[in-house]
Amino acid sequence: MASSSAGKTKMEATSKAAIDRQEVRVSTTPIRAAIARDQRKDDFEVLVTVEAPKVVAPEKRAPIDLVAVLDVSGSMNKEEFVRGKHMSSRLDLLKIAMKYIIKLVRDADRLAIVSFNHAVVSEYGLTRNSADSRKKLENLVDKLKASGNTDFRPALKKAVEILDGRGKEEKKKRVGFILLLSDGVDQFQYSRINWEKVAKSTDVDHSEVGAMLRKYAVHTFGFSASHDPVPLRQISALSYGLYSFVCKNLDNITEAFARCLGGLRTVVAAEIRVDLKPKSSDKQQQQQPVLIKSIDSGGYESQVIGGGTSGKILIPVLYVDEVKKFIVHLKVPKVSATTVNNQQEILTADGDANSVDGKTVRIKEHKLAIRRPPEVVDQADLRPAPQVVEQVVVFKLLDMVPKTFQQRREDDHKGVKNTKVAVQLLQRNMDEIRRSDAWTDLDVGTRRRIDEQVKEIADHVEKGEGPAYVNSWVSSQEMQRANTMGSPNKVVAGRVRDAGDEDNSGGGEKATGGEDR
């Protein structure tokens, strides 16, 4: 067993490395540190943590090209109470927010604006920020008028065309994003798109829209209580963006926009690919290798390749100091008694990422080894790692909550609209999670925090705010990023904070379960 002084030295080194971190890093943590040689595990969970550079000078952050897509359909003329004192149209509130965004965009960034109703109404192409261009953009915003119906498709197509029209080097060095704000309902009679079917439908229209959305992250904002959250959520999910909504304190919509833009302005890496490779360490395992069973990656794309012989996780962009957490489920076979020092290397993780100057940088390899003694007797080896268990439960929630409310939507279509039934279904499905081994292994504080989140979802459902709240909660948890839920002052963190985290970067985790090479 390592001495306490050695452990302290290692922790100090880990802490210093986190402070000085200037590159994308990947690390792994096993659910348990040891498996007896004569035991096999058909579902051995490993936490894979991807960390963005911790501190990066502003001039070393990627410049962005941002297209703001603004709904100017007739419903934007509707008036809302502002601070409970006077009325203001939604369009006027949007104009104030958009002017605020124009001021926030950095000189190195570029901004374009597309306004739409059932067609594209106006467009202003990508323009580098300057005093002159800011004035032109503000004048364009002032001239916006609301009329007509709502169709997202042509406006999104125009936004993508603007970003596609950049040169090769521009695309390589500048990250493209789209912001879509709407207060209404996308009307099928115009778009001919069922947004819930875009991801799976193979017909020409839906396939075209799906391919278009996967090019650039679209961050969507539902504005007012009358918007339809489902298409906005689907658009953001397909494009690896975030869905937020604001139905209270609409005059503070600037805060919600600023929160989103604040993240976009800190991009430090793009097109991150994490490669996972199970390892086999003796002749017996050549016939019975370690294999990847599945990968829990939330809203990010992941693949299991070659029957489990490898896998990968794809992350479009990382903001400064961000941490992303995933669960890899391994099949670990029995081993012979020939393992060196009772150690078995079971997984390696590495990959590559694009830096802000467009160059591809390798992610340093990280190797995970566990002990394979004849018998596991140490109580510490029998206890599951808390940060792994917590992430396992988070992914169980992410599987359960959308399925629960998909069932409710199907009942709604049949005319069965009863919020109490929806809450009962949520609680019944949550009880199943509470009966799982992972829930039993959670500490009391984490259980309480998760229970509070589920209760808050139930409360919003009972108030009639369920669809928007549920969709935004799922969006935040899947993408592991903060978003706005209902009021600009209501922010939900991107993930349940780990007990081992000392700050938002996740750099305070005490065990990595492996080493970098």
Q: What pLDDT was estimated at residue 463?
A: 82
Q: pLDDT tens, 271-299?
A: 999 999 998 655 555 568 999 999 999 99
CA angle (22 as vertex; 16, 28 as ends), nearest 5:
70
Report d(CA 251, CA 138) in Å as an integer.
18
Report d(CA 506, CA 15) in Å as an integer.
11
Residue count (the chain): 517
What is the sign, positive or negative, of the torsion defined by CA atoms of 134, 136, 137, 141? positive
Amino acid type, 347: L
Q: What pLDDT was estimated at residue 497?
A: 33
| Inter-residue contact 156 to 235 (CB < 8 Å) | yes
Query: 176-188: b or e for each residue (b if 16 or more CB lie within 10 Å)?
Result: bbbbbbbbbebee
* H helix count then E strand count, the chain: 16, 19
Report d(CA 164, CA 160) in Å as an integer.
6
Q: What pLDDT was estimated at residue 15?
A: 35
Report d(CA 452, CA 490) in Å as an integer.
15
Report d(CA 450, CA 398) in Å as an integer.
12
Report d(CA 422, CA 372) in Å as an integer.
47
Domains recognised in the chain with CATH numbers: 4-53+269-382+503-516 (2.60.40.3670), 62-265 (3.40.50.410), 387-480 (no CATH)
| Inter-residue contact 298 to 398 (CB < 8 Å) | yes
CA count, 13 A, side-chain hemisphere, 20: 6
Tokens of 271: 């097109």
Q: What pLDDT was estimated at residue 282?
A: 55
Report d(CA 384, CA 45) in Å as an integer.
10
Report d(CA 264, CA 177) in Å as an integer.
8
SS3 141: helix
Alpha helices in 437-490 (DSSP H): 437-441, 444-462, 466-479
> For residue 72, how many other CB atoms are within 10 A of its CB?
24
Q: In 3-state terms, the chain is what percent helix, strand and coil (to 5)?
A: 40, 30, 30
Tokens of 291: 């294999």
Question: Shortest CA distance to 506 belongs to which of 391, 399, 393?
Answer: 391
SS3 509: coil
Amino acid type, 139: N
| Inter-residue contact 446 to 390 (CB < 8 Å) | yes
Q: What pLDDT was estimated at residue 487?
A: 66
**Cα 348 versus chain centre, distance:** 24
Report d(CA 486, CA 250) in Å as an integer.
9
As a whole number of Å, the CA-based R_g of the chain is 24
Tokens of 392: 């396992």
SS3 365: strand
Report d(CA 281, CA 267) in Å as an integer.
39
> For residue 462, how many other CB atoms are within 10 A of its CB?
13
Give 120's strand partners.
116
Question: Shortest CA distance to 430 belongs to which of 451, 415, 411, 413?
Answer: 451
End-to-end Cα distance, the chain: 23
Report d(CA 323, CA 327) in Å as an integer.
14
| Inter-residue contact 320 to 61 (CB < 8 Å) | yes
Task: List Cβ<8 Å contacts ≥24 apart for 101-104.
Answer: 101/68, 101/179, 101/254, 101/257, 101/258, 101/261, 102/129, 102/134, 102/137, 102/138, 102/141, 103/134, 104/258, 104/261, 104/265
Q: What pLDDT was estimated at residue 489?
A: 60
Q: What pLDDT was estimated at residue 491?
A: 55
Give 354's strand partners.
270, 360
Phi/psi for 108 (5° steps) reads -75, -15
Q: Which residues of the chain have pLDDT under 70?
A: 1-21, 55-56, 83-85, 188-189, 280-287, 337-340, 407-418, 487-517
Report d(CA 51, CA 24) in Å as an integer.
6
